[in-house]
Amino acid sequence: MSELTPTIIKELKAFYVERLVDNMDVKDLVNYVTDDMDNYVEGQTDEEFLIDAQNYWDDGFDEVVEEIKEYTNCEFKKPIEERRNAT
């Protein structure tokens, strides 16, 4: 494989990713993106995550936090993995 130049390898990688994504169904894509985003936010500091969350929810951030507080304190709740697999 030494005959493959860095340019060829770069293009091969791009083509591989394109084909891989093209052949995924919606469920596979959702699972992949969810796993990737889980890893991304877990790698952030709390401060970095809160900045991203505030930017995402904008004026609704405080309402989302209140909903999460209510959910966290409820007697009946499903683990996140069960909720994710239900979709």
pLDDT bin (cut points 50, 70, 90) of residue 79 is low
Q: How is 9-68 classified by DSSP, letter by letter?
A: HHHHHHHHHHHHHHT--HHHHHHHHHHHHHHHHHTS-HHHHHHHHHHHHGGGHHHHHHHH
pLDDT for 6-65, tens place per residue? 999 999 999 999 999 999 999 999 999 999 999 999 999 999 999 999 999 999 999 999
pTM of the model: 0.66
Give the count of domains, the chain: 1
Any domain includes 9: no
Any domain includes 56: yes
Any domain includes 10: no
pLDDT for 54-71, tens place per residue? 999 999 999 999 999 988
pLDDT at 45: 98
Which residue range(s) make up the domain with 80? 25-85
